[in-house]
Amino acid sequence: MALRLFNTLTRRKEEFQSIVEGKVGLYTCGPTVYDFAHIGNLRAFIFEDLLRRYLKYSGYQVKQVMNLTDVDDKTIRGSKEQGVSLAEYTQTYKEAFFEDLRNLNIEPAEVYPAATDHIQDMVDLILRLRDRGYTYEMDGATYFRISDFKEYGKLAHFKIDQLKVGARIDADSYEKEEARDFALWKAWDEEDGEVFWETELGKGRPGWHIECSAMSMKHLGEQFDIHTGGVDNIFPHHENEIAQSEGATGKPWVNYWLHCEHLLVEGKKMSKSEGNYYTLKDLSEKGYDRKAIRYLLLSTHYRQQLNFTLAGIDASRSALQRLYDFMENLKRVRKGGNHPEVAECVAETKKNFGQAMDDDLNISGGLAAIFDFVRKINILAAGGKIARGDAVEIVRTMENFDTVLGVLEYKQREIDEDVERMIQERHQARTSGDWKKADEIRDRLREMDIILEDSPEGTRWKIL
């Protein structure tokens, strides 16, 4: 079976074929760094993490590019409101974004280009479009004339004769009914304050859409495999990206478009403007475990809407606990070699997991295969049919699945961080002569089955 992905362009599941054998170029629209991300945004990033991890599991080498939109209408408005420079303002949210990624165990992309570092690339692309006759100027701004791009509407699936020919729009976001010629380069006005670049196109700044066309092609080439985002990106953002990129190069641009559905709260999209959102920090402060949040966001198929509830996090916590207990029990198996039933069970599970995930990342099927495996192995264990050799094979199998899920190794990392922190505290207690506290920490670690070995080079630890 080969990997099949649902392509928004054709509205069909298609067999995935990369341009270069064994390699995938993946562009994922990144955050607009004007505020802290809410977990709706994070759902989109987790979906993209699942995609990249599964591509790697399937043997591809992935180059993922995720942009940082650090200049647009929203970031400029925000920096003005706070009275700080645009760079200072966006830096806070860039850092917060990377912290969210680490906290959710999202694998880093290979490149994180920031829009403000690519202004010349954007200008060059607009000049190419100008040379090919797709643009016009008006009051110092440059617009893309959508009626000149005959395929306009092919991603969002609407007909070009429904458009208002010649009408213009300056805003970065708008609805399908308002499809108009859009700004590639915006002329400076007072609202923009200190934010402008003096370029061949005049004094101003880029529109949001050109940022992604320029940065993706710069880092992935003029044709690449997969482009993703949330469904709200289909129009106008991705439609405009296609018009700009294909308009400039005259050839097809991206082969597969994947879009993730929204995270809802009581039937409405989680969003800043509705005020119905949680950040990861909000939830951590309420005591919710980030591993359970990762699992929750991961475990519903990306093309289904996901209704967010706090009870959903608890349910995810229980599901995860079953996996953690399973892994713990396997570590305790000490004696013996292998039973043939286990090898059979491993092979069947791998097949089922792969079949489900190959079907447009059917994660429910993938997880069902894993939990079925857990149930079967538990039955074998109860019948005395799991020996040391089996346990090692089962752990290896689970770790292999976990390169896709990212929930087991993540727990180990958290334990490592906790232990390292406690060792530091003990070290400080010892240097300040607080032997009682130092001993307490040693005992607490002992309860976690961790023993310490002190030496002149420092303290090492191992799990019993």
Q: Which residues form the interface with ligand AMP (CB under 6 A)?
A: 29, 31-32, 40-41, 43-44, 229-230, 232-233, 260, 262-263, 269-271
Q: Which is nearer to Zn ion, 46 or 293 (CB)?
A: 46
Query: Is residue 454 within a helix (H) or strand (E), and if so which, with residue range?
Result: strand 450-455
Q: Which is nearer to Zn ion, 5 or 29 (CB)?
A: 29
Strand order in the sheet with 306-307: 268-269, 263-265, 306-307
Q: Which is nearer to ligand AMP, 43 or 118 (CB)?
A: 43
Which of Zn ion, ligand AMP, none interacts with 41 (beta carbon under 5 to 8 A by kind)? ligand AMP
Question: Which two tokens mark 356?
Answer: 């489900």
Q: How far is the CB of 67 from Zn ion (least distance, A)?
A: 6
CB atoms within 10 A of CB 410: 19
Query: Is residue 150 within a helix (H) or strand (E), and if so which, with residue range?
Result: none
Q: How far is the CB of 262 from ligand AMP (least distance, A)?
A: 4
Q: How far is the CB of 230 from ligand AMP (least distance, A)?
A: 2
Q: How far is the CB of 30 from Zn ion (least distance, A)?
A: 7
Residue with tokens 């609805």: 175
Name 389's Cβ contacts closer than 8 Å, sequence gap at least 6.
336, 337, 338
- 33 touching Zn ion, by CB under 5 A: no
Q: Which is nearer to ligand AMP, 58 or 276 (CB)?
A: 276
Which span (209-217, 312-320, 392-400, 423-431) binds Zn ion, by CB under 5 A? 209-217
Q: Which is nearer to ligand AMP, 219 or 269 (CB)?
A: 269
- 210 touching Zn ion, by CB under 5 A: no
Which of Zn ion, ligand AMP, none interacts with 24 (beta carbon under 5 to 8 A by kind)? none
Q: How far is the CB of 238 from ligand AMP (least distance, A)?
A: 10
Instruction: Give SS3 for 373.
Output: helix
Residue with tokens 């939830």: 283
Q: Which is nearer to ligand AMP, 281 or 376 (CB)?
A: 281
Q: Which is nearer to ligand AMP, 223 or 271 (CB)?
A: 271
d(CA 215, CA 237): 14
Dump the DSSP string for 310-362: HHHHHHHHHHHHHHHHHHHHHHT--S----HHHHHHHHHHHHHHHHHHHBT--
Q: How far is the CB of 250 from Zn ion (least distance, A)?
A: 22
Question: Which two tokens mark 16?
Answer: 């995935």
Give the residue, chosen from 65, 101, 212, 342, that forms a contact with Zn ion under the rule CB under 5 A: 212
The residue number with the shortest CB distance to ligand AMP is 230
Q: How far is the CB of 212 from Zn ion (least distance, A)?
A: 3
Ordered alpha helix ranges (H), 221-289 = 239-249, 280-285
Q: How far is the CB of 42 from ligand AMP (least distance, A)?
A: 8
Which of Zn ion, ligand AMP, none interacts with 31 (beta carbon under 5 to 8 A by kind)? ligand AMP
Give the residue, chosen from 9, 26, 29, 263, that forms a contact with Zn ion under the rule CB under 5 A: 29
CB atoms within 10 A of CB 77: 12
Q: How far is the CB of 21 from ligand AMP (least distance, A)?
A: 29
Instruction: Give SS3 for 195.
Output: coil
How far, in Å, are 22, 39, 131, 194 from residue 231 at the CA level? 28, 15, 32, 33
- 155 touching Zn ion, by CB under 5 A: no
Omega before residue 113 within 30° of 0, cis: no
Could you list the beta-strand ranges (E) of 11-132.
12-15, 23-28, 61-66
Which of ligand AMP, Zn ion, none interacts with 269 (beta carbon under 5 to 8 A by kind)? ligand AMP
- Provide the binding-site residues for Zn ion, judged by CB under 5 A: 29, 212
